[in-house]
Structure 1
Amino acid sequence: MIEKYIGALVFAFVSAGIPLVANGQELEMMKQGQYRQPLPPYPATRREDRVEKMHGVEVSDPYRWLEEDVRNSAEVAAWVAKEQAYTEAFLGTLPERATFERSLTSLLNYEIYGSPVERGGKIFYTYNPGLADQDVLMMTSAGAASFDGSGTVLLDPNGLSEDGTTALASWEVSPSGRYLAYMTAQAGSDWTTLRILDIGSGELLEDRLEWLKGGAISWVDDDSFFYSRFPEPAEGQDFQVAALNMKIYRHQLGDKQSSDVVFYETAEQPDLMHGSTISANKRWLIVTSSKAGALGNQLRVFDLHSPASPALTVASGNDTIWVPAGTIADRLYVKTDSDAPRYRLMAIDLNADQPHLREVIPQSDDAIENVAVVDGHIAIDFLDDVKSRMQLYDAEGRPTAEVDLPGIGAIGAFHVEPQGSRAWFSFSSFNRPSELFAFDPKTGESHSVVDRKLAFDPADIRIEQVFYPSADGTQIPMFIVKRADSTGPAPTLLYAYGGFNITMSPAYSSTRMAWVQAGGTYALANIRGGGEYGSAWHQAAVGPKRENAFEDFIAAGEWLKANGVTGSGQLAIQGGSNGGLLMGVVTNRRPDLFDAVNPQVGVMDMLRFDRWGYGKYWTSDYGDPADEQDFAVLRGYSPYHNIPSHGVYPPILVTTADTDDRVIPGHSFKYTAALQAADLGSAPHLIRIEAKAGHGAGMPVSKVIAAYADIMGFLAHFTGLDAHGAEQQGS
Structure 2
Amino acid sequence: MSNAYPDTRRGDHVDVYRNRQGEEVRVPDPYRWLEDPDAPETREWVEAQNRVSDAVLGELPARQAYIQRLTQLWDYARPGTPWRRGRRYFRQFNPGLLNQPKLQVSDSPRGPWTDLLDPNSLSEDGTVALMGLGISKDGGRLAYGTQSAGSDWVTWRVRDVDSAQDTDDRIEWSKFSGAQWLPDGSGFYYAAYDAPQGGTLTGTNRNQRLMLHRVGTPQSEDQLILARPDEPDWGFHAHITEDDRYLIVDVWKGTARMNQVWVRELGSDGPFIELVNDFRASFTVLGNDGDTLYLLTDEDAALSKIISWNVKTGEQQTIIPEGTDKIDFATLVQGGLLLVTLKDASHRVTLHNRHGARQRDLALPALGSVMGFSAHQDDTEVFIGFTSYLFPTTPYRAELPGGELEALEQPSINLDVDEFEVTQDFAISKDGTRVPHFIIARRGLKRDGTNPTLLYGYGGFNASMTPAFSPAILGWLDRGGVYVATNLRGGGEYGKEWHAAGTLNRKQNVFDDFIAVAEHLIETGLTSPAHLGIQGRSNGGLLVGAAMTQRPELFAAAIPQVGVMDMLRYHEFTIGWAWASDYGRSDDPEMFSTLHAYSPLHNLEEGVQYPATLVTTGDHDDRVVPAHSYKFMSELQRVQRASPGLSPSHSPGHQHNQHRPTIIRIQVNTGHGAGKPTALLIEEWADVWSFLENHLK
Pick the TM interval, shorter chain: over 0.9
The yes-or-no answer on 1:164 pairing with 2:126 is yes
The yes-or-no answer on 1:199 pairing with 2:161 is yes
What's the TM-score once normalised by structure 2's chain length? 0.94
User: Which residue, 173, 185, 199 being the options, matches 2:135?
Assistant: 173
User: Which residue, 369, 382, 392 being the options, matches 2:351?
Assistant: 392
Distance in 2, matches of 1:116 and 1:241, equals 37
Change (3 A) 1:215 1:326: farther
Q: CA deviation at 1:448?
A: 0.6
Distance in 2, matches of 1:407 and 1:208, equals 44
User: Which residue, 268, 290, 294 being the options, matches 1:333?
Assistant: 294
User: Which residue, 405, 411, 426 being the options, matches 1:446?
Assistant: 405
One-letter code aligned to 1:228:
A
- Contact 1:574-1:600 within 8 A present in 2 as well: yes
Counterpart of 2:70? 104
One-letter code aligned to 1:179:
R
Counterpart of 2:21? none
One-letter code aligned to 1:138:
Q
Partner of 2:553: helix, strand, or coil? coil
Q: CA deviation at 1:152?
A: 0.9
- Contact 2:333-2:376 within 8 A present in 1 as well: yes
Distance in 2, matches of 1:189 and 1:418, equals 35
Q: CA deviation at 1:624?
A: 1.6
Partner of 2:674: helix, strand, or coil? coil
Distance in 2, matches of 1:663 and 1:115, equals 30
One-letter code aligned to 1:279:
T
Listed as ranges, the matches of 1:676-691 within 5 Å are 676-679=637-640, 682-691=659-668
Distance in 1, matches of 2:80 and 2:121, equals 20
- Contact 2:536-2:560 within 8 A present in 1 as well: yes
Q: CA deviation at 1:52?
A: 2.0
The yes-or-no answer on 1:217 pairing with 2:175 is no
Distance in 2, matches of 1:689 and 1:554, equals 28
- Contact 2:476-2:689 within 8 A present in 1 as well: yes
Counterpart of 2:686? 709
Change (3 A) 1:238 1:115: farther
Listed as ranges, the matches of 1:182-581 within 5 Å are 182-221=144-183, 222-234=185-197, 237-292=199-254, 294=256, 296-308=258-270, 310-350=271-311, 352=312, 354-488=313-447, 489=449, 490-581=451-542
User: Which residue, 76, 84, 87 being the options, matches 1:121?
Assistant: 87
- Contact 1:295-1:620 within 8 A present in 2 as well: no
Partner of 1:79: helix, strand, or coil? helix
RMSD over aligned CA atoms reads 1.4
User: Which residue, 650, 670, 679 being the options, matches 2:611?
Assistant: 650
The yes-or-no answer on 1:57 pairing with 2:25 is yes
Distance in 2, matches of 1:247 and 1:99, equals 49
Q: CA deviation at 1:331?
A: 2.9
User: Which residue, 548, 553, 558 being the options, matches 1:587?
Assistant: 548
Query: Structure 1, residues 195-233: CA drift from partner, whole Å, max 9, x if none?
Result: 001112233111111111133211112101111111122
Q: Percent identity?
A: 37
Distance in 2, matches of 1:105 and 1:232, equals 39
Query: Structure 1, residues 662-704: CA drift from partner, whole Å, max 9, x if none?
Result: 0000000000000011135541110000111100000000000
Distance in 2, matches of 1:119 and 1:276, equals 18
Counterpart of 1:34? none
Q: CA deviation at 1:442?
A: 1.2
Query: Structure 1, residues 349-392: CA drift from partner, whole Å, max 9, x if none?
Result: 33x4x133221111000001111112232111101111111001
Q: CA deviation at 1:346?
A: 1.2
Change (3 A) 1:338 1:614: same
Q: CA deviation at 1:49?
A: 1.4
Counterpart of 2:650? none
496-505 vs 447-456, greater mean Cα deviation: 447-456
User: Which residue, 581, 586, 590 being the options, matches 1:625?
Assistant: 586
One-letter code aligned to 1:253:
V
Q: CA deviation at 1:322?
A: 1.2
Query: Structure 1, residues 34-81: CA drift from partner, whole Å, max 9, x if none?
Result: xxxx54430111110111211211001000100102xx2111001000
User: Which residue, 697, 712, 729 being the options, matches 2:674?
Assistant: 697
Partner of 2:196: helix, strand, or coil? coil
Segments of 5+ residues of structure 2 without an aligned counterpart are: 19-23, 647-658
Change (3 A) 1:299 1:626: same
User: Which residue, 40, 50, 58 being the options, matches 1:92?
Assistant: 58
- Contact 2:544-2:560 within 8 A present in 1 as well: yes
User: Which residue, 614, 621, 630 being the options, matches 1:669?
Assistant: 630
Partner of 2:554: helix, strand, or coil? coil
Query: Structure 1, residues 12-33: CA drift from partner, whole Å, max 9, x if none?
Result: xxxxxxxxxxxxxxxxxxxxxx
Partner of 1:689: helix, strand, or coil? strand
Segments of 5+ residues of structure 1 without an aligned counterpart are: 1-37, 721-731
Distance in 1, matches of 2:629 and 2:482, equals 27
Query: Structure 1, residues 79-135: CA drift from partner, whole Å, max 9, x if none?
Result: 000100110001111111111111111111111122422223221110000110000
The yes-or-no answer on 1:45 pairing with 2:21 is no
Change (3 A) 1:577 1:565: same
- Contact 2:607-2:639 within 8 A present in 1 as well: yes
Change (3 A) 1:368 1:316: same
Distance in 1, matches of 2:230 and 2:614, equals 44
Query: Structure 1, residues 410-465: CA drift from partner, whole Å, max 9, x if none?
Result: 11131123443321111111101111111223125211111332111232221111
Partner of 2:530: helix, strand, or coil? coil
Change (3 A) 1:464 1:360: same
Partner of 1:592: helix, strand, or coil? helix
Q: CA deviation at 1:306?
A: 3.2
- Contact 1:653-1:686 within 8 A present in 2 as well: yes
Partner of 1:103: helix, strand, or coil? helix
Counterpart of 1:80? 46
Counterpart of 1:24? none
Distance in 2, matches of 1:285 and 1:279, equals 7
What's the TM-score once normalised by structure 1's chain length? 0.90
Distance in 2, matches of 1:524 and 1:505, equals 9
One-letter code aligned to 2:118:
D
Distance in 2, matches of 1:293 and 1:220, equals 28
Partner of 1:138: helix, strand, or coil? strand
Q: CA deviation at 1:140?
A: 1.2
Q: Aligned pair count?
A: 673
Counterpart of 2:652? none
Query: Structure 1, residues 547-589: CA drift from partner, whole Å, max 9, x if none?
Result: 1001000111110011011134110100000000001101000
Partner of 2:51: helix, strand, or coil? helix
- Contact 1:189-1:660 within 8 A present in 2 as well: yes
Partner of 1:569: helix, strand, or coil? helix
Distance in 2, matches of 1:65 and 1:568, equals 36
Distance in 2, matches of 1:564 and 1:61, equals 42
Q: CA deviation at 1:647?
A: 1.1
Distance in 1, matches of 2:222 and 2:377, equals 27
550-559 vs 292-301, greater mean Cα deviation: 292-301
- Contact 2:83-2:383 within 8 A present in 1 as well: no
